[in-house]
Amino acid sequence: MKFENSEKLYKKGLKHLVGAVNSPVRAFASVGGNPLFIKKAKGSKITDVDGNTYVDYVLSYGPMILGHRHKKVQKAINKALKNGYTFGASTKNEIKLAKIVCDAFPSMDKVRFVNSGTEAVLSAIRLARAFTNKDKIIKFSGCYHGHSDALLVAAGSGLATLSLPGSKGVPEGAVKNTLIANYNDLDSVKAHFEKYDDIAGVIIEPIAGNMGVVLPQENFLKDLKEYITSKGALLIVDEVMTGFRSKFGGAQELLGVEADIICLGKVIGGGFPVGAYGARNEIMEMVSPLGEMYQAGTLSGNPIAMAAGIATLTELKKQNPYKQFNETAEKLETILLDSAKKHRVDVIVNRFGSMINPFFTTGKVTNFKEAQESDTKKFAVFFWEMIHNGIFLPPSQFEAWFLASALSDKDLKKTAKAIDKAMEAVSKM
């Protein structure tokens, strides 16, 4: 497999793009080598500029849940394009998508569409502060909630990949009201509440997808919600990654917890830049123009994104692929573990719904500290061997793999063969 054109584009891109990329994880920093440049995608496959075609488990980090360029989504986009691209005014489809989203989340009466997960989260936090008249927010180490200043601490994912503890350019004042707790450790949350009386809320990924795939331990989320509610704080659940990926709605419902404020993105845009935050009426009526919490966006509710989102969610509800996702993820887990055992490689696998991730480690992974104990050098060898055998994975040990309903049995067989070759390569390190 050759990557000559990707290498040429990378070198050319260095002149006017930062690191030749527009998002750090695309730089392949933790796996080495030059990043791949993609030309096109269709269904479960993605093709680079050198003509190499891969089974895609990145899926643009989640939104392509139906696969790439699904015919019904494509048709909806083409129809919307004929009417214009953006109007700076309201459209009917904003109302239609809002109903679909609110109907899927029992605790959500109203939603506000924005342009990214980062926007959704920073707006949700502002809303929590406005509603409670308190300032501090608790986040969990290893959970990533976008790149707003207040949350760019202990943020997992890209920062973990680059071995950065935070970010230059974020002043101390921006994070003075951000408190860090340990995922799956309620006592670490309680310690903050015992020390401070001005905590507005706690933000969490119901399934942590930016330190791999890390699941909450039994009753952790339920106990968390019960405790912080007793303290007058709000639970903000960041479902930008998990929304619609384990059921038609949120992972929180499967986990037996109900958020006060929900953040969404990815799948609800069908591949276009979309974010959203929503809550019960009492909270959302704090938002301008109904209330005094200001938040705005010229491109929010973009008509093309709304059309793609409606088509994606409508088809997703029709397909109802969640049983299929669980079965496929279970097969992948078995393939990974059996191959690792065959080649005497230490691997554990975490999965939830249509998200899965192998960790090159001997112990369990229930928090960011345990995730960081994984062998990233082994992952790098595994990653490139998978690429050379036609499987496109996220270029980081700390990113989830995603499944699409377009994934076929043939794709899975190809993946199994690639995994076995990759584990063999790792065993020779």
**Cα–Cα dist 304/295, whole Å:** 21
Which tokens in the block code for residue 94?
């904003």
One-letter identity of residue 299:
L
**Cα–Cα dist 151/157, whole Å:** 13
Which residues on neighbouring strands pair with residue 179, listed in sequence order?
Answer: 138
Q: Euclidean distance between the first and final Cα of the chain, in Å?
A: 22
- Write the CA distances from 242 to 42, 58, 190, 271, 316, integer angstroms: 23, 14, 26, 15, 14
390 close to 414: Cβ distance less than 8 angstroms = yes
Which tokens in the block code for residue 100?
């679909």
**Cα–Cα dist 103/108, whole Å:** 8
- Order of strands, sheet of 391-392, starting from the edge strand that comes earlier in the sequence: 38-42, 45-48, 53-56, 391-392
Which residues on neighbouring strands pair with residue 234, listed in sequence order?
Answer: 201
Q: Does residue 61 carry a catalytic annotation?
A: no
The burial of 85, by beta-carbon neighbours within 10 Å (0-12 exposed, 13-18 middle, 19 or more buried), is given as exposed
Instruction: Transcribe 13-30 into DSSP letters.
Output: HTTTSGGG-SSGGGG-TT
Q: Does residue 238 carry a catalytic annotation?
A: yes
Among the options 48, 56, 238, 420, which is catalytic?
Answer: 238
Which residues on neighbouring strands pair with residue 120, listed in sequence order?
Answer: none
Q: Does residue 71 carry a catalytic annotation?
A: no
Among the options 144, 183, 277, 322, which is catalytic?
Answer: 144
**Cα–Cα dist 216/364, whole Å:** 13
Among the options 266, 277, 378, 411, which is catalytic?
Answer: 266
The candidate with the shortest Cα–Cα distance to 158, out of 169, 170, 144, 168, is: 144
**Cα–Cα dist 174/310, whole Å:** 36
The burial of 299, by beta-carbon neighbours within 10 Å (0-12 exposed, 13-18 middle, 19 or more buried), is given as middle
Which residues on neighbouring strands pair with residue 278, listed in sequence order?
Answer: 111, 262
- How many residues make up the chain in this entry? 429
The candidate with the shortest Cα–Cα distance to 390, out of 356, 365, 416, 364, is: 416
Residues 6+ apart with CB under 8 A from 202: 137, 138, 139, 181, 189, 224, 228, 233, 234, 235, 236
Q: Cite the active site residues.
A: 144, 238, 266
